[in-house]
C-alpha cells in the first residue's frame, strides 16, 4: 500500500495518516523491491524481517537427529524429544519455535495412492460409531449417537440409535446388524474403537499386531467373528468402503425435522429400508437388496437379546451383587466370593463356578434392586432382624412405600412389626404391581394397617375405619 501510494505521488505525511506507518519506515519501503506477492510470511523471510529465532542456530543439528537410526519401539523423533535435547544444550527459547522448526525439517514420505478394490460377496463388513447434534421440534438439542454397519459387496446398511459407545453396546449392535444382514461375513472391519482395540504393536519385521480387548475377543470367539482393525489415519486400508458415518450424516440427518427421539428412530428405520430396497447405490448402480442375495454369509450362533456378556463381581456382605447401580440377590453362602454375571439384554444369571445362584430381571422394576423370595428368606432367620429386613425390602419396592410405613410405625409403635410381616406375605402372594396398587388406594383413603391392604387386595368392600 505504501509503495502504491508513493507511486501515485501521495506525500509521506498523508501516507502516515492513511497507514499509521512512520515517514522513516515509508522512506525505507520506497527503496525496497516492489511487492508482488501477498504471502506476508514468505516476504518477511526473504528480507530477514523480524527478530531471528533462537532455535535457528540448531537447525543443522536437528536435521542430523532426524537422520539418526532409531529403535523400532522408540518411534519417530517427536518435537518434545527435540525440545528436551535442546534444553540440555542450553536453549532457553520458546517451545513453539522448536515445534515449528521440527515440523518443517521432519522428513516426509511420498504419498501412497489409495488402492481401491471391490470386495467379494460375503467377504467384508464395516462398522463404526457416529454422532450428530439434532434440534427437535420443541427446540431441545440433543447429541444423537448411532452405530452404523454395512456389507462391502452389496452396500446393505444397518443403522441403530444408541445411548452410549460401551463394549456391550458394540456387541449387541453387531449381533443385530448380523441378524439384519442374514448372517456374518468373513471379516468385520472396525475403525479405531477403544472398546474393540486395546493396543497395537509393531513387530521387528515392520508388521502390526492388534491386541483386542478381552471381552470383545471372547465375543469374536463365541460368534465366529474375524475382526480386522484399520490403522489410524490409513484410508488406504479401507478399500472401496466409503465413509459410512458421513453417508448417514449427509443422507439422513440433513434437511429433516424430528418431533422427538421416537420420531427420529421411526424416520431412521424408514430411511434404512429405502436405501436398502429402493435406492440404487452410487458405487454399484444397483439396489443393495438385489446384491444381498449374492452375499455368502455364515449363520450366527447367538442373538442380540440372549447373548450373555460375562462380568465378574464380588458378593457383598448383604448377599447382593452390585453392577452399574443395580443390586442382585444371591444365597448367603456366596458372600465374599467372586461370581460371574451372565448379562443378557433383559435378564441376568449369576453363577458361582458352574452353579447357578439365581436369575433376575436385568433392570428391576424399582430401578435399583432385585431380591428373589428364596434369598429373602435367609434374611429372616434371625427373629429380631426379620421385621427390619422385611421393612427394608418393602421400602425398596417403590418410593411411595416410605410415607405409608412412616405413618404406620408412628401410629402403631408397638405393633408395626406384625403389620409389616403381613404386608410382606401379601406382597409375596400378589406381586409388586398389585401390592403397590393396594398401597396407593389405602394411602388415598388414609387407612394405615395390613388389614386394610388385605381387604383391598381381596376386593372386598369393608367399612374402612381410620386407625
The CATH fold assigned to 124-292 is Nucleotidyltransferase; domain 5 (3.30.420)
Per-residue confidence (pLDDT) for residue 174, from 0 to 100: 96
Confidence of residue 467 (pLDDT cuts 50, 70, 90): very low
- Would you state the cell numbers that stand for residue 398, as one nine-digit string? 417403590
The pLDDT tens digits of the residues spanning 323-352 come to 999 999 999 999 999 999 999 999 999 999
The pLDDT tens digits of the residues spanning 171-214 come to 999 999 999 999 999 999 998 788 888 887 776 666 677 888 98
CA end-to-end span of the chain: 96
pLDDT score of 240 more than 50: no
- Residue that the C-alpha cell 383413603 belongs to: 445
Query: Among 329, 325, 299, which Cα is nearest to 317's?
Result: 329
Confidence of residue 148 (pLDDT cuts 50, 70, 90): very high
The pLDDT tens digits of the residues spanning 374-432 come to 898 888 877 788 999 999 999 999 999 999 999 999 999 999 999 999 999 999 999 99
Any idea of the CA torsion for 149, 182, 185, 273, to the nearest 10 degrees?
A: -30
Q: What is the pTM of this model?
A: 0.67
- Of 271 and 115, the structure prediction assigns the larger pLDDT to 271
pLDDT score of 37 more than 90: no
261-265 long-range contacts, CB within 8 A, separation 24+ = 261/136, 261/142, 261/144, 261/161, 264/134, 264/136, 264/144, 264/161, 265/161
Neighbouring CB atoms inside 10 A of 59's CB total 13
Per-residue confidence (pLDDT) for residue 362, from 0 to 100: 94
Over range 149-155, report the average pLDDT.
94
Average pLDDT for the chain:
87
Instruction: Report how far residue 437's alpha carbon sits from residue 455's, in angstroms, rounded to the nearest whole number.
Output: 13
Contact 240, 283 (CB under 8 A): yes
For CA atoms 242, 243, 246, 247, give the dihedral sign. positive
Q: Where are the domains of the chain?
A: 2-105, 124-292, 309-370, 380-458
> Would you give the distance in Å from CA 321 to the centre of its chain?
25
- Would you state the cell numbers that stand for residue 390, as one nine-digit string? 422385611
Per-residue confidence (pLDDT) for residue 39, from 0 to 100: 61
The pLDDT tens digits of the residues spanning 67-105 come to 888 876 677 889 899 999 999 988 988 888 899 888 888
Amino acid at each position: 500500500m505504501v509503495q502504491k501510494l508513493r507511486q501515485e505521488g501521495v506525500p509521506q505525511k498523508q501516507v502516515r495518516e492513511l497507514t499509521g506507518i512512520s515517514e522513516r519506515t515509508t522512506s525505507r519501503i520506497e527503496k525496497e523491491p516492489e511487492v508482488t506477492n501477498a504471502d506476508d510470511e514468505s516476504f518477511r523471510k526473504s528480507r530477514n524481517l523480524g527478530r531471528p529465532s533462537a532455535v535457528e542456530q540448531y537447525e543443522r543439528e536437528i536435521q542430523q537427529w532426524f537422520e539418526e537410526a532409531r529403535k523400532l519401539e522408540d518411534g519417530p523423533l517427536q518435537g518434545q524429544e527435540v525440545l528436551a535435547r535442546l534444553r540440555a544444550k542450553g536453549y532457553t527459547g520458546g517451545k513453539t519455535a522448536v515445534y515449528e522448526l521440527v515440523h518443517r525439517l521432519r522428513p516426509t514420505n511420498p504419498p501412497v495412492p489409495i488402492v481401491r478394490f471391490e470386495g467379494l460377496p460375503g467377504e467384508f463388513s464395516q462398522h463404526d460409531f457416529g454422532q450428530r447434534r439434532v434440534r427437535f421440534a420443541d427446540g431441545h438439542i440433543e447429541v444423537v449417537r448411532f452405530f452404523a454397519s454395512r456389507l462391502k459387496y452389496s452396500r446393505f446398511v444397518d443403522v441403530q440409535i444408541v445411548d452410549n459407545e460401551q463394549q456391550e453396546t458394540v456387541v449387541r449392535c453387531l449381533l443385530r446388524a448380523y441378524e439384519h444382514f442374514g448372517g456374518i461375513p468373513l471379516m468385520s472391519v472396525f475403525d479405531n474403537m477403544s472398546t474393540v482395540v486395546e493396543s497395537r504393536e509393531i513387530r521387528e519385521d515392520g508388521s502390526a499386531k492388534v491386541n483386542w480387548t478381552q471381552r470383545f475377543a471372547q465375543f469374536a470367539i463365541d460368534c465366529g467373528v474375524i475382526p480386522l482393525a484399520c490403522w489410524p489415519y490409513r484410508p488406504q486400508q479401507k478399500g472401496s468402503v466409503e465413509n459410512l458415518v458421513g453417508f448417514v450424516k449427509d443422507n439422513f440427518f440433513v434437511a429433516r425435522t424430528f418431533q422427538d427421539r421416537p420420531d427420529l428412530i421411526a424416520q431412521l428405520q424408514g430411511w434404512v429400508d429405502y436405501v436398502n430396497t429402493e435406492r440404487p447405490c452410487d458405487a454399484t448402480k444397483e439396489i443393495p437388496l438385489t446384491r444381498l442375495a449374492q452375499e455368502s454369509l455364515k449363520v450366527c450362533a447367538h442373538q442380540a437379546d440372549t447373548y450373555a456378556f460375562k462380568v465378574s463381581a464380588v458378593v457383598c456382605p448383604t448377599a447382593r451383587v452390585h453392577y452399574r447401580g443395580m443390586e442382585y440377590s444371591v444365597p448367603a453362602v456366596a458372600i465374599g466370593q467372586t461370581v460371574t454375571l451372565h448379562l443378557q439384554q433383559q435378564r441376568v444369571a449369576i453363577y458361582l463356578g458352574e452353579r447357578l445362584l439365581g436369575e433376575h430381571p436385568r433392570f428391576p422394576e424399582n430401578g435399583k434392586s432385585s431380591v428373589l423370595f428364596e434369598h429373602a428368606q435367609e434374611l429372616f432367620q434371625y427373629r429380631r432382624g426379620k421385621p427390619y429386613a422385611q421393612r427394608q425390602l418393602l421400602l425398596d419396592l417403590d418410593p411411595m412405600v416410605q410415607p405409608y410405613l412412616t405413618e404406620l410405625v408412628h401410629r402403631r409403635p408397638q405393633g408395626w412389626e406384625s403389620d409389616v410381616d403381613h404386608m410382606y406375605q401379601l406382597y409375596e402372594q400378589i406381586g409388586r404391581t398389585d401390592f403397590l396398587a393396594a398401597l396407593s388406594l389405602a394411602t388415598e383413603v388414609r387407612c394405615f394397617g395390613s388389614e386394610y391392604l388385605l381387604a383391598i387386595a381381596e376386593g372386598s368392600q369393608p367399612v374402612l375405619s381410620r386407625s
